[in-house]
């Protein structure tokens, strides 16, 4: 047995969750630890050659057990920093925007591990960098044609400020251990790992200072530490490493050279908390990782501002954009259909609109969209989805919505101050949930608007039972109660009639027309979102939000 023990010297850990940039990660994922060790090896030239065999040995050991205490999230205090795009010069601002999109596309391609996609994205980035440098040279050129005032506004201290947050956790015990119970390391590997760990100074964000050491044999008892074990069951998804991780990290660094954004290459592994603690965790749905896009100003300098009632148009356009950028055969997990064209009988990618509906002055307009991956998605399928997203990013991230116009989007890789664009806004656990977009019922409940009170009441009871089964279909317990309501609990959410008929035949929808209703429901214990239910869940119809 071998273990690595990390002491959090500041008593806190700063790192963002892989699927929610506004939420902290806890416990620190094994892939974070491995990346920190690799970075340490390359920062100390005297360790680089001896560390390589040890790191290659470590990446072959599989998912470790993790010992960590409970932790409390620290308050998020926004820090205002100069924005990456000043927009002071049309040509320069556009070139910088294209450069940022090209970097995002390369980051996505790197995460997918597809060599062809990485090469293509790298070529696009090189072109974008060349164009950006050319535009910069025009503005600062000492040839009498430059504009000194505009050139000064390119400097960081002259730009507008954008809010950034650094999610952090304060553990009850400032220590984390990674344990490989069956691993027997050769002496030279143990020696190299010990030397490497003693030089490691941070884990996650650069402000998370740590000390690290290797432990052989049984780890000493420490009150407050709980054990997370890898599990085949649905649990908490954490990023781990697999054979070849060292080479993937080094290759990725050679391409991005420390520029943001980039995505940590990793494999996802489900973990369960040992013992009875698992029972106290909230139930969660079949949906896991989020990829979020926000609308940005178009050529007119304004956003389109699409109403939430256009949900099906938006999500079908989003699905079509990704299908058209799939590399080769369209993955079933992306389309929702198998090779014969039949609907999949397992969870697949869902497409949802993100709108602010809960704030006092909410407009109900769509602020962005999200692609939701199934929690138990296979690594190969996940890479295929990320490749499609990366190729779409390279083409410009546009959604054409007919007469409504075209949405220009950008992938959210930082923390957006608008809460509706953060997964946590939709996933925070709650007992009481209400529909934001109406639920398309899986069966016809009967005439909900009958003039006969008995008939209308019977239809309402049928609808409530259908909603309960819809919750169970996505992995949640049946609600303790369900109520069919005329309007959403959220004032800015449009009424259900605005979504009818569903599915829309002119938008590419097929199948039986569904009855759409707004619902309110209460669970015995808090459940974790996203709560996305009903026949339209894969197209954002039936998206709910918690409301205590």
Task: Give the whole-angstrom CA distance, residue 165 versus residue 163.
Answer: 7
List phi, psi (to 5°) of 502: -130, 130
For 2-76+166-281, CATH number?
A: 3.30.70
The beta-carbon contacts of 97-100 under 8 Å, at least 24 apart in sequence, are 98/128, 98/131, 98/132, 99/125, 99/128, 99/129, 99/131, 99/132, 100/410
Return the residue matching tokens 């390279």.
394
Question: What is the CA 356 to chain-centroid distance, rounded?
Answer: 18
Mean pLDDT in each 10-residue stretch from start to end of the chain (548 residues)?
A: 93 84 87 93 82 92 92 72 51 71 73 73 84 75 59 59 74 94 88 93 92 86 88 79 86 61 70 63 83 84 85 93 90 92 93 86 89 89 89 88 85 79 89 95 93 94 96 95 92 87 67 90 93 95 90
Rounded to whole angstroms, the Cα distance separating 318 from 467 reads 26
Smallest CA-to-CA distance from 202 within 192, 189, 212 is with 212
> In sequence order, which ranges of 59-114 are alpha helices (DSSP H)?
90-112
At CA 260, angle to CA 258 and CA 265, rounded to 5? 80
Q: At what angle do helices 90-112 and 115-140 cross, to 10 degrees?
A: 160
For the chain, what is the largest distance between any 2 Cα atoms, rounded to a whole number of angstroms? 85
Three-state DSSP string of 109-127: HHHHCCHHHHHHHHHHHHH
CA distance 19 to 25: 10
Token look-up 């998804």 returns 237
Determine contact, residues 391/283, Cβ cutoff 8 Å: no
Q: Render the burial of 423-459: b for 16+ CB within 10 Å, e for the rest.
A: bbbbbbbbbebbbbbbbbbbeebbebeeeeeeeeebb
Question: For residue 497, what are the contacts with CB-CB under 8 A and spacing of at least 6?
Answer: 516
Distance CA 444, CA 373 (A): 29
The whole-number pLDDT of residue 268 equals 80
Domain ranges of the chain: 2-76+166-281, 86-164, 287-421, 427-546
pLDDT at 158: 60
In degrees rounded to 5, what are phi and psi of residue 529? Answer: -80, 180
Considering only the top CATH level, what class is 287-421? Answer: alpha beta
User: In whole angstroms, what is the distance from residue 145 CA to residue 147 CA?
Assistant: 7
- Nearest CA among 3, 37, 52 for reference residue 199: 37
CATH topology agreement for domains 2-76+166-281 and 287-421: yes
396 phi/psi in degrees, rounded to 5: 115, -5
Q: State the Cα–Cα distance between residues 341 and 464, nearest whole angstrom.
A: 31
β-bridge mates for residue 545, sequence order: 434
- Separation of alpha carbons 378 and 315, rounded Å: 23
Question: Where would I find the H helices in 142-244?
Answer: 148-152, 187-199
- Residues 139, 440: Cα–Cα separation, whole Å: 55
What's the pTM value of the predicted model, to 2 decimals?
Answer: 0.62
């Amino acid at each position: 047995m071998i273990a690595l023990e990390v002491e959090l010297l500041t008593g806190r850990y700063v790192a963002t969750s892989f699927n929610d940039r506004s939420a902290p990660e806890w416990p620190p994922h094994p892939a974070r630890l491995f990346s920190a060790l690799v970075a340490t090896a390359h920062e100390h030239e005297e360790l680089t050659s001896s560390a390589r065999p040890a790191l290659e040995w470590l990446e072959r050991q599989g998912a470790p057990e993790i010992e960590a205490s409970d932790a409390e999230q620290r308050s998020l205090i926004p820090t205002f920093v100069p924005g990456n795009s000043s927009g002071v010069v049309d040509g320069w601002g556009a070139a910088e925007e294209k450069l940022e999109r090209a970097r995002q596309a390369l980051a996505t391609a790197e995460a997918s591990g597809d060599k062809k996609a990485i090469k293509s994205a790298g070529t696009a980035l090189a072109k974008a960098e060349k164009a950006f440098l050319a535009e910069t040279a025009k503005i600062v050129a000492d040839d009498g044609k430059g504009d000194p005032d505009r050139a000064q506004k390119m400097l960081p201290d002259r730009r507008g400020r954008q809010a950034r947050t650094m999610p952090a956790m304060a553990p009850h015990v400032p220590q984390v251990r990674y344990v490989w119970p069956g691993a027997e390391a050769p002496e030279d590997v143990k020696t190299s790992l010990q030397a490497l760990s003693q030089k490691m100074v941070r884990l996650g964000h650069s402000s998370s200072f740590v000390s690290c050491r290797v432990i052989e044999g049984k780890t000493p008892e420490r009150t407050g530490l709980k054990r997370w074990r890898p599990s085949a069951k649905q649990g908490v998804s954490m990023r781990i490493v697999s054979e070849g991780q060292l080479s993937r990290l080094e290759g990725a660094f050679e391409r991005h050279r420390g520029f943001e954004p980039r995505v940590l290459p990793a494999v996802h592994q489900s973990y369960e908390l040992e013992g009875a603690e698992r029972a106290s965790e909230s139930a969660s749905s079949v949906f896991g990782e989020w990829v979020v896009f926000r609308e940005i100003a178009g050529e007119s300098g304004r956003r389109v501002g699409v109403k939430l009632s256009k949900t099906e148009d938006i999500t079908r356009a989003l699905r079509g954009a990704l299908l058209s950028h799939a590399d080769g055969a369209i993955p079933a997990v992306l389309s929702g259909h198998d090779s014969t064209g039949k609907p999949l009988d397992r969870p697949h990618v869902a497409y949802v609109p993100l709108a602010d509906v809960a704030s006092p002055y909410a407009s109900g307009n769509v602020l962005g969209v999200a692609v939701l991956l199934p929690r138990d998605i296979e690594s190969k399928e996940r890479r295929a989805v990320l490749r499609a997203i990366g190729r779409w990013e390279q083409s410009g991230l546009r959604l054409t919505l007919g007469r409504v116009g075209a949405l220009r989007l950008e992938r959210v890789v930082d923390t957006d101050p608008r809460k509706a664009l953060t997964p946590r806004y939709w996933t925070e656990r709650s007992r009481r949930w209400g529909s934001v977009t109406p639920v398309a019922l899986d069966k016809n409940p009967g005439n909900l608007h009958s003039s006969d009170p008995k008939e209308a009441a019977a239809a309402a009871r049928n609808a409530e039972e259908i909603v309960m089964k819809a919750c169970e279909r996505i992995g949640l317990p049946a609600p303790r109660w369900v109520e069919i309501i005329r309007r959403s609990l959220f004032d800015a959410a449009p009424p259900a009639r605005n979504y009818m008929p569903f599915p829309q035949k002119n938008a590419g929808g097929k199948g039986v027309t569904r009855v759409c209703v707004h619902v309110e429901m209460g669970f015995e214990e808090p459940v974790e979102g996203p709560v996305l239910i009903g026949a339209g869940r894969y197209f954002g119809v039936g998206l709910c939000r918690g409301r205590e």
